[in-house]
């Protein structure tokens, strides 16, 4: 009798393919349709599964991992509600171009389309928010699909990919041979910078008197920070970061004007308003960056370097459109750019900085608000001082996010993590778990408001179970502060749906075995932060902040830069 061929189960083949892609951590939650995959985990000790308390957190944790490592993060959930719960995190990854691979269980192929128990058409739902979605209807396709999923997630413009795995495919037993793992959709590199484009860029750069360089998320994603820094330091041009460009270059760099856009610094926004040349590197001119498009940087020529052609000329028309990877384009531009002092231009920026420092609320009344409560800006400045600007900071969404972007000085590369495009509240705590797994030896701070904290607060359970050492800095103003600010400015101070009656957060953390303390007055802040830093394990510092505080300056949505509000 012939020897029996070696066989393998679909779920095991799937896990083996994940191992081949270098997957270590999976964040997920089990359930009926995905159980066979979980059942295979013990055979693959390289795969470490972290059980979260809600699938949305799994997607955010995978994002944290991806943002910190630059490699795809992985989340896994069952069919139906498990899969739909992942969606917010996947949509968020799509907006911010974060590579994650989302694995969802699916009901057996024989019952797909019959409204079976816990069936949802997850591919149909995820198409607009994924780079690619697969339904595995043939176990022989598993190695190819897994390989291609990781390849597509992390190639070109990064983004989320979904693999839907029906239960009958994961329990199928097939001969362990004859797999074709050829990638079907190779991603071609962009054409790069052409001679003509370079000549035109050179001419614009040579004649510019008021240039500004934009550092976008692409600089971090392509790892082009050294090349960009060389370009900046040779050209001596000032630069500004988008929200996601922050931490690409050190925050104390002398040419840095700060963040741009809606809540950008006065010096950056005034410079953009008056610039005669914008050099945009790896960014997409989001509406929070541009304000009113017709009036945006009217006197400026724009050199736009982007590797996604659909982002060029989308919002802002480029004088010179360079469809290229960032590194080679910036290297070429560095060769032809001539240094200039830009004396008047820097003096203009310095004047604006001085103006803002004179009216910045954190520089007044010892950084306290009207009711003597601490200001968020003051707290973040103190955190910078104590950590030297070198810790990982994961922010949630709201006022505290903007304060973290503006008042924490990021002095170390790629240490700033937040949900920019989609603006998903509940991002920070689970994303910080992912960042901590990626950087176990580094300190990770969560900056979160009382509203956002409660959107994924169940993850305190995961933190407890896994002993995840993250420091949670809760800025509590008992309000949904960002919306309150808009209500204050644009809706006649009618605070509808924004006051929050909060639980005792310290007691809540304590119930999860997490140490913490509440800071009611300014003096207590520094010792509390120091205790948090010293403490082994997770720690919650709740700071009561001023509810009237606004994040300023602010360019109201759809307004011109000249409409920037600098005071309340």
Partner 1 sequence: MKQKKLHTILAFAHNQPGVLYKLLSLIRKKRYNVETITVGHTHVEGISRMTISFSHGEGNKIEQIVQQIAKITEIPKTDDVTYENAINRELILLKVKATPQDRVHVTATTQIFGGKVIYVASGHMIVEITGKQENIDSAITMFEEFGIIGVARTGATVMYREEEDMGLDRIVLPGSRVVSLKNKR
DSSP class of 310: G
In angstroms, give the least distance from the CB of 307 to partner 1. 12
Number of residues that bind partner 1 (CB under 8 A): 22
HSE on the CB side for 493, CA within 13 Å?
4
Tokens of 146: 């897994």
Q: Which is nearer to partner 1, 95 or 259 (CB)?
A: 95
Q: Which is nearer to partner 1, 42 or 124 (CB)?
A: 124
In angstroms, give the least distance from the CB of 43 to partner 1. 30
Q: Which is nearer to partner 1, 94 or 406 (CB)?
A: 94
Per-residue HEC secondary structure of 16-77 comes to HHHHHCCCCEEEECCCHHHHHHHHHHHHCCCCEEEECCCHHHHHHHHHHHHHHHCCCEEEEE
Tokens of 244: 């996601």
Q: Which is nearer to partner 1, 185 or 254 (CB)?
A: 185
Strands 211-215 and 277-281: parallel
In angstroms, give the least distance from the CB of 463 to partner 1. 37
Q: Alpha helices, DSSP H only, in 177-302? A: 195-207, 217-221, 225-235, 266-274, 287-290
Of these residues, 131, 167, 436, 471, which one is catalytic?
Answer: 167
Q: Which is nearer to partner 1, 116 or 123 (CB)?
A: 123
Stretch that binds partner 1, among 130-138, 233-241, 262-270, 367-375 (CB under 8 A): 130-138
Does residue 254 touch partner 1 according to CB under 8 A? no
Does residue 131 touch partner 1 according to CB under 8 A? yes
Does residue 110 touch partner 1 according to CB under 8 A? no
Q: According to CB under 8 A, which residues from 54 to 93 bind partner 1?
A: none
In angstroms, give the least distance from the CB of 134 to partner 1. 10
Q: Which is nearer to partner 1, 113 or 558 (CB)?
A: 113
- β-pair partners for 445: 393, 471
How many Å apart are CA 219 and CA 189, to the nearest integer? 17
How many Å apart are CA 282 and CA 512, to the nearest integer? 42
Q: According to CB under 8 A, which residues from 301 to 360 bind partner 1?
A: 308-310, 312-314
Stretch that binds partner 1, among 40-48, 180-188, 250-258, 395-403 (CB under 8 A): 180-188
Question: Helix axis angle, 376-387 relative to 399-407, nearest 10°?
Answer: 40
How many Å apart are CA 409 and CA 246, to the nearest integer? 9
Q: Which is nearer to partner 1, 287 or 385 (CB)?
A: 287
Site for partner 1 (CB under 8 A): which residue of 180, 371, 496, 523?
A: 180
SS3 6: coil
Active site residue 327: no
How many Å apart are CA 528 and CA 525, to the nearest integer? 5
Per-residue interface string for the shown chain with partner 1, residues 280-309, x marking contact by CB under 8 A: ----------------------------xx
For residue 1, count CB atoms less than 10 angstroms from its CB and return exposed for 0-12, middle for 13-18, buried for 19 or more. Answer: exposed
CB atoms within 10 A of CB 493: 9
Q: Which is nearer to partner 1, 4 or 185 (CB)?
A: 185
What strands lie across the sheet with 256-259, from one edge to the other?
A: 256-259, 239-241, 211-215, 277-281, 301-306, 320-323
In angstroms, give the least distance from the CB of 329 to partner 1. 18
Stretch that binds partner 1, among 179-187, 383-391, 488-496, 502-510 (CB under 8 A): 179-187
HSE on the CB side for 542, CA within 13 Å?
22
HSE on the CB side for 301, CA within 13 Å?
17
How many Å apart are CA 74 and CA 46, to the nearest integer? 14
Residue among 195, 235, 211 at smallest CA distance from 329: 195
Site for partner 1 (CB under 8 A): which residue of 17, 69, 88, 133?
A: 133
Active site residue 338: no
Question: Helix axis angle, 481-490 relative to 399-407, nearest 10°?
Answer: 100
Q: Which is nearer to partner 1, 51 or 123 (CB)?
A: 123
Of these residues, 55, 148, 306, 332, which one is catalytic?
Answer: 55
Active site residue 141: no
Q: According to CB under 8 A, which residues from 207 to 226 bind partner 1?
A: none
Q: Which is nearer to partner 1, 279 or 312 (CB)?
A: 312
In angstroms, give the least distance from the CB of 280 to partner 1. 17
Stretch that binds partner 1, among 126-134, 426-434, 537-545, 546-554 (CB under 8 A): 126-134
For the chain, give percent helix, strand, coil, nearest 5: 45, 15, 40
Site for partner 1 (CB under 8 A): which residue of 43, 173, 183, 357?
A: 183
Active site residue 410: no
How many Å apart are CA 190 and CA 152, to the nearest integer? 15
Of these residues, 117, 351, 364, 490, which one is catalytic?
Answer: 117
Read out DSSP for 92-117? HHHHTT--EEEEEEE--TTTTTS--T
Helix (H) or strand (E) holding 453: helix 450-453
Stretch that binds partner 1, among 121-129, 357-365, 459-467, 539-547 (CB under 8 A): 121-129
Active site residue 167: yes
Per-residue interface string for the shown chain with partner 1, residues 138-177, x marking contact by CB under 8 A: --------------x----x--------------------
Of these residues, 44, 118, 141, 292, which one is catalytic?
Answer: 118
| Positions marked catalytic | 55, 117-118, 167, 482
Interacting residues with partner 1 (CB under 8 A): 123-124, 127-128, 131-133, 152, 157, 180, 182-186, 188, 308-310, 312-314
């Amino acid at each position: 009798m012939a020897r029996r061929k070696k066989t393998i189960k679909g779920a095991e083949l799937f896990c083996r393919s994940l191992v081949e892609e270098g997957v270590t951590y999976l964040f997920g939650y089990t359930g009926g349709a995905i159980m066979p995959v979980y059942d295979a985990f013990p055979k693959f000790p390289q795969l470490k599964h972290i059980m979260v308390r809600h699938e949305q957190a799994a997607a955010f944790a995978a994002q944290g991992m991806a943002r910190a490592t630059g490699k795809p993060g992985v989340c896994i959930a069952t069919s139906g509600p498990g899969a739909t719960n992942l969606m917010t995190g996947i949509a968020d990854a799509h907006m911010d171009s974060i590579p994650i691979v989302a694995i969802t269980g699916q009901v057996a192929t024989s019952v797909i389309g019959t409204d079976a128990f816990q069936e949802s058409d997850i591919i149909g739902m995820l198409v607009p928010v994924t780079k690619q979605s697969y339904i595995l209807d043939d176990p022989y396709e598993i190695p190819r699909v897994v390989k291609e999923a990781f390849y597509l997630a992390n190639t070109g413009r990064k983004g989320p990919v979904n693999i839907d795995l029906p239960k009958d495919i994961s329990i199928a037993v097939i001969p362990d041979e004859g797999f074709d793992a050829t990638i079907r959709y190779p991603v071609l590199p962009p054409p790069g910078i052409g001679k003509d484009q370079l000549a035109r860029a050179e001419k614009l750069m040579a004649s510019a008197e008021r240039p500004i360089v934009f550092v976008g998320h692409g600089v971090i994603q392509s790892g082009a920070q050294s090349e960009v820094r060389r370009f900046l330091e040779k050209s001596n041009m000032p630069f500004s970061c988008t929200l996601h460009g922050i931490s690409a270059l050190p925050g104390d760099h002398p040419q840095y004007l700060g963040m741009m856009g809606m809540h950008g610094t006065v010096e950056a926004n005034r410079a953009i308003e008056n610039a005669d040349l914008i050099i945009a590197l790896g960014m997409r001119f989001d509406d929070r960056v541009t304000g009113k498009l017709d009036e945006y940087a009217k006197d400026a020529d724009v050199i736009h370097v982007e590797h996604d052609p659909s982002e060029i000329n989308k919002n802002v028309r480029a004088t010179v459109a360079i469809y290229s990877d960032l590194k080679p384009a910036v290297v070429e531009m560095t060769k032809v750019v001539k240094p200039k002092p830009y004396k008047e231009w820097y003096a203009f920026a310095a004047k604006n900085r001085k103006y803002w420092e004179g009216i910045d609320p954190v520089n007044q009344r010892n950084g306290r608000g009207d009711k003597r409560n601490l200001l968020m800006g003051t707290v973040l400045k103190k955190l910078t001082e104590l950590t030297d600007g070198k810790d990982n900071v994961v922010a949630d969404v709201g006022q505290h996010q903007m304060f973290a972007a503006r008042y924490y000085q990021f002095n170390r590369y790629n240490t700033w993590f937040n949900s920019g495009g989609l603006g998903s509240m509940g991002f920070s705590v689970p994303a910080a778990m992912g960042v901590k797994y990626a950087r176990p030896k580094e300190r990770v701070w969560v900056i979160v408001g009382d509203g956002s904290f409660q959107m994924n607060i169940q993850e305190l359970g995961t933190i407890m179970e896994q002993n995840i050492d993250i420091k949670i800095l809760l800025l509590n103003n008992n309000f949904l502060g960002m919306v309150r600010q808009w209500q204050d400015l644009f809706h006649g101070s009618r605070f509808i749906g924004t006051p929050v009656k909060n639980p005792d957060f310290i007691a809540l953390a304590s119930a999860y075995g997490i140490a913490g303390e509440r800071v009611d007055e300014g003096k207590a802040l520094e010792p509390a932060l120091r205790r948090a830093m010293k403490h082994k394990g997770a720690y919650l510092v709740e700071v009561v902040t001023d509810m009237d505080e606004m994040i300023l300056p602010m360019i109201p949505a759809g307004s011109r830069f000249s409409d920037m509000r600098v005071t309340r």
